[in-house]
């Protein structure tokens, strides 16, 4: 009985998920053209997403997390509405193979006419925020150690033997 329920749940999950594909500069959802893209290949570190009219709506750049070299995140800029969000590369938003664009599709940040839905973009920004960008832009703190308060040293040579 448990196996039957598990199989039904898996079938319903896969039956309702969207099939997002990237091919020849076109993003399709369930074989319907949704958006255009440029530079979103497997090793590209930048990706521009256009609506079907060719207007840039999303620009993404792969950056290193502050204070690290190996860990990466996508800096996503929603063009024309001055909003951005950071998406962690290690949380399944790795190579642009549809997962990152599926996140945008599921969040409904792009309207049917190819414009950005400002309310949905704002919700995505509230949900994910810009933790990596904020940390990278935070002012650094400099600590100055002042040794002038100590008693002055005697002139000559100080030799300490055995301890």
Is residue 14 predicted with pLDDT exceeding 50? no
Mean pLDDT of 82-88: 91
Is residue 59 predicted with pLDDT exceeding 90? yes
pLDDT tens across 124-152, in order? 999 988 888 888 777 767 777 766 655 55
Mean pLDDT of 82-105: 78
* Between 20 and 148, the higher pLDDT residue: 20
Give the DSSP letter string of the chain: -HHHHHHHHHHHHHHHS--EEEETTEEEETTEEEEEEES-SSS-SEEEEE-TTS-EEEEEEEEEPTT-SS-EEEEEEETTTTEEEEEEGGGT--SSSSHHHHHHHHHT-B-TTS-B-HHHHHHHHHHH--HHHHHHHSPPP------TTSPPPPSS-------
């Amino acid at each position: 009985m448990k196996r039957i329920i598990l199989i039904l749940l898996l079938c319903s999950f896969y039956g309702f998920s969207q099939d997002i594909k990237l091919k020849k500069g076109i993003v399709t959802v369930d074989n319907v053209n949704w958006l255009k893209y440029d530079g979103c290949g497997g090793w590209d570190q930048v990706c521009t997403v256009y609506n079907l009219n060719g207007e840039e709506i999303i620009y993404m750049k792969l950056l290193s997390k502050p204070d690290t070299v190996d860990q990466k995140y996508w800096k996503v800029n929603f063009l024309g509405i001055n909003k951005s969000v950071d998406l962690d590369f290690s949380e399944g938003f790795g190579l642009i193979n549809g997962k990152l664009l599926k996140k945008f599709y599921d969040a409904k940040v792009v309207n049917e006419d190819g414009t950005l839905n400002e309310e949905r973009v704002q919700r995505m920004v509230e949900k994910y925020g810009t933790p990596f960008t904020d940390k990278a832009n935070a002012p650094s703190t400099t600590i100055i150690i002042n040794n002038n308060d100590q008693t002055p040293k005697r002139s000559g040579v100080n030799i300490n033997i055995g301890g």
